[in-house]
Each structure stands twice: as structure tokens, then as C-alpha cells.
Chain A
Amino acid sequence: MNKLKTAVTDFGWPRIIIFFFVVALFVAAPFVGVRVDGALSDVLARFGQNGILVLALVPMVQAGAGLNFGLPVGIIAGLLGGTLSMQFGWTGWVGFLGAVGVSLPFAVLFGWAYGLLLNKVKGEEMTIAMYVGFSMVTFFAILWLLLPYSSPNMVWGYSGSGLRTTITLDGYWTKILNNFLAVRIGRFFVFPTGLLAFFGAATGTMWLFLRSKTGTAMTAVGSNPDFARAGGVSSDRMRLVSVVVSTVFGAVGILVYQQSYGFIQLYQAPLYMAFPAVAAILLGGASVNKASMVNVLVGTFLFQAILTMTPNVINSVLQTDMSEVIRIVISNGMIIYALTRKTKVSK
């Protein structure tokens, strides 16, 4: 009984409440005319769509660099890869994998510079990361207008230059992962095999990475810097690695996100993209300095379930669209809860 009690406090009441909220949504769905199989199908698709962005947060949390509110740095690298691949006229698998390939050097480069900065500001990473992300997004908004992109599918029709705010991926790699080996069961349920397999592979890679020599050293730096120093591990180096890995996953994550969405969104769109990801991982049970694969999977699933189910179920019950309010309150409430928790391992 006592053990259960500590488990509950450890997990945190907000998470338990939200968990039951999600369960209640699924239970209530059939009674208000929402198809559970259809909803579940949506949740799965969005789970795979957003998962890698959430996964990207893990290394920095583990290395003690906090929640990566600067995720847009990686997202921008991904957008560069995606737009360049389109510009080269690559389509299908070549296009998608090409986009990933092109984005990687940018992600490493950006992540490295971003990591160097974060190493200089230990203890204040999160606020600074957030503003680094914001400046990166707005700075790139200028570049989207100025860079010499020329593919007619991407630039504004009337001026012939400057990328559009949303670029359709039709004819390039729309839903290429979602549709790969997708299994349709009944009229409403689709199992996005390719998407989930890709997400699974990414999670596996991260899992292996965290158990590699570098990964364990990184975790050591995060959980006990003095001990790690005594063991001859360079804290700065490990943190740098964690930021680079996080940025790379961010870049891949946004490409997966957008192939599923069907559009590349530029300009201000990535500004706030870190927040839902952060909320998701915290919802899954991560704290500011500890996160695991389970946190990612559970958190992403719960968070996406809320996003999918609330508009349908709550709206049918209340006859009004309150999903936006619920989403804002839950996601940001979750972040505040995590930030205000007394952390067991102090920095």
C-alpha cells in the first residue's frame, strides 16, 4: 500500500488525472457518436507523426541541459533539408530520405553551435534555449524569402521568388511513411505500419545510444556532474553531444511530422513547436532532469489522444469547441507542474 502511495506521488497526481481523463474520453466516445476505431486510428497516426520530436528531448534532459525549448533549431535544419530536397526535384523515397540526408549536416552544425552556447550558460539553459529557438525561426523567416529557391511548386506564384508559407508535399513524399505497408482494418481503422516502424526504429536508436559508452557518460554527467568529472568525463563535451543528438532528432522529427501532415510549414510555424513536445514528454512521466523511452511513448500517446479526442467528444457533450482551452491548460499546466516540482537530483 505504501509502495503504491510512493508510486502515485512519484508519478504525480496531474498525470493520473489526465490519464483517467483520456480513458474517460475513450469510454464516452461511443455514447456521443464518435467512432472509437476511427479515433484510435487518428491517435496512432498522430502518435507516429509527433513521436520523434518528443524523442528529441530525451538526450538533453539526460545530460542535465534541461527541457529543450530550443527544439526549433533542429526543426529549422529539417525544414532546410526538406525544402532543398524539393528544390532538387527529388520525389518519393529518394525525396524523403534525401531530405533527411541533406538536413543532417545542418542539424549537426546548428546543434554544435547551439550546444556551445548552452555550455556557456549552464543553469539558465531553458529560457535562453527558448529565445535562441525564437530568433532562429524568425531569422530563417528572412532567409526563406531571400534564398534562391526557384521550384515553381514552392515559391510564390506572382513574384517567382520567396518560399510560400505552406508548401504541399503532393507529388513529393506526402504520407510516404504513413502509407508504407499500412494495414486497413474495417472502414475506419488504418494501422500506419511504416510510420510506426520508423518511429520504433528511431526510439530503438535512441535507446541504444543511451546505453552506449557515450550515452551512459552523458547520463552520468546529467545525474551527477562531480562524480562524472572525477571519472574523467568532460561534462561540456557530453552536453554538446546531447544537444547535437537532440537537434538531429529534431530535424528528422519535423520531416516525419510533415510527410504525415502533407505540407511543409515555414516562417512563423515552427515558433512554438517545442511546447507540445515538451508537454508530451512531461505527461509521460519525465522530469526536468530525467526522461526515458517509456516517458516518450506513454506521453506522446496520451497527449495525442487528448488532442484527438477532446475536439470530438467534448464538443459533442458541451456543444461548443472547448478543445483549444483544454489543450492549452493541460499542456502548459503539465509543464508548470514539472518546473515547480522539487527535483531529487540538484544541479
Chain B
Amino acid sequence: MSGKEVSGAKAPRRLAPRRAVALAVVAAAYLGAGAWAMLTGKSHTILVDNKPVAGLEAFRLVEVTIGRQEPLELGRGERDKFAVQGQSHRVRIDLMNGSDPVTATLRLPYDAKMVLVSLPKLVAGIEPAWEPFETGQDAPPPVVDELPEELFGAAIDLPPPEAAGD
């Protein structure tokens, strides 16, 4: 076949620069889209913690908002969580005492699955206000593994599934 496709073989050589440019554009778009998807799509869990820490008092009642999510209200000593995507987040903390809400920006490392953010630290401006949080419960309790159904299961003489009863 290839011997006869002379015109087909010649064409790419003539178009080589254009091809190279097109390839570069595709590669750049691929990498760009990949980077965007990974950076902005990476999911993290942020635990917000209203507990006394390092000599700082906990707040009586706070309303926390991350990004555009629904605000959460936390009483003294309470903890709750936000599921977020991306590494940089605006946190808005309303102390519910008439004063202006505090806003802070939280930057997380890419590979932090779950972080614990201390609200008192964040309000006091202590950096870093977060610490990685390991639950040890990453994996769900082991369940019985099911193996895939066989492609030709019925056509190969394995024991019948329901031992022929009803």
C-alpha cells in the first residue's frame, strides 16, 4: 500500500512546518487543559474548627463561609467541614457580635486531602492556620470483594450461580 501512496507520503513533508505548529498547539492545549483541570478540580476537605488553640479563645458563635458555599454556623468547640475544589479559598468569618466579618485567604498544598483550619488562628492572623488532618479512615472498612462477572460465564461450565434451586 505505502508504495503506491506517493502523494500521501509527500504531502506531510511539504506541510511539515504547519504540522509542527499544529502539533505544538495541540500539545499546549492538552497540557494547559490538564493543568487547569488538575489545579481547579482537585478536591479537598476543609474542616473548620472552633476550639481554643495555642492560648487563643474559641468564639461563642461564628458563621463561616468558604467561597460561595452555604455558610455554616459553629458554636464554641464545634467542628464542621466544607468540600472544596482548588487550592486557594476565601474564608469569611462572621463573629456574630456586630463587628465586621473577617476575611482571610487560605492556600492549601495540592496533595492535602483533608486539612483542619483553626478559626481562632485564622482570625488572629497566625500563619499557617491549617494543619493536615489524618483520619486513618481514608479507606472504608474492608468489604467483601466482588470480582467481575465473567464475559462468557454461562458458556463455560462453572458451577451454576444459584445451585439450581429457587
Contact = CB atoms under 8 A, between A and B. Distances in A.
Contacts of B148: 324
A168 interface: yes
Contact of B166 (A157, A260, A275, A321): A157
B154 A328 contact: no
Chain A, interface residues (CB within 8 Å), range: 20 to 34
Contact of B160 (A46, A260, A263): A263
B70 interface: no
Given A49-B157, A261-B157, A272 B164 contact: no
B111 interface: no
Interface in B146-165: 147-148, 150-152, 154-157, 160-162, 164
B149 to A, nearest CB: 10
Contact of A156 (B151, B164, B166): B166
Nearest to A157: B166
Contact of B154 (A156, A270, A307): A270
Contacts of B164: 164, 166-168, 263
Nearest to A169: B164
A165 B156 CA distance: 16
B147 to A, nearest CB: 8
A268 B53 CA distance: 64
Q: How would you classify the secondary structure of chain A's contact residues: helix, strand, loop or mixed? A: helix
A328 B148 CA distance: 13
A209 B152 CA distance: 31
A130 B164 CA distance: 28
Q: How large is the interface on B (under 10, 10 to 19, 20 to 34, 35 or more residues)?
A: 10 to 19
A328 B152 CA distance: 8
Interface in B119-150: 147-148, 150
Nearest to B155: A273
Interface in A29-65: 46, 49
Contacts of A166: 160-162, 164
Nearest to B166: A157
B150 A324 contact: yes
Contacts of A263: 160, 164
B155 to A, nearest CB: 5
A206 to B, nearest CB: 22
Contacts of A275: 152, 155
Nearest to A328: B151
Interface majority SS on B: helix, strand, loop or mixed? loop
A13 interface: no
A128 interface: no
A166 B162 CA distance: 8
Contacts of A167: 164
Interface in A292-347: 307, 321, 324, 327-328, 331
Contacts of B150: 324
A165 B162 contact: yes
Contact of A269 (B147, B151, B154): B154
A272 B155 contact: yes
A31 B53 CA distance: 64
Given A164-B164, A165-B162, A166-B164, A46 B154 contact: no
A276 B154 contact: no
A265 interface: yes
Nearest to A155: B166
Contact of A158 (B155, B157, B162, B166): B166
Nearest to A170: B164
A271 interface: yes
A333 B161 CA distance: 28
Contacts of A321: 147
Interface in B60-98: none
Interface string A127-168: 000000000000000000000000000001110000011111
Nearest to A271: B154
Which of A156, A166, A263, A275: most chain B CB closer than 10 A?
A166
21 contacts: A156-B166, A164-B166, A165-B162, A166-B160, A166-B164, A167-B164, A168-B164, A257-B157, A265-B154, A269-B155, A270-B154, A270-B155, A271-B154, A272-B154, A272-B155, A273-B155, A276-B155, A321-B147, A324-B148, A327-B156, A328-B152
Interface of A: 46, 49, 156-158, 164-168, 257, 260-261, 263, 265, 268-273, 275-276, 307, 321, 324, 327-328, 331
Given A269-B154, A273-B154, 19 more contacts: A49-B157, A157-B166, A158-B166, A165-B162, A166-B160, A166-B164, A257-B157, A263-B164, A268-B154, A269-B155, A271-B154, A272-B152, A272-B154, A273-B155, A275-B155, A276-B152, A276-B156, A324-B151, A328-B152
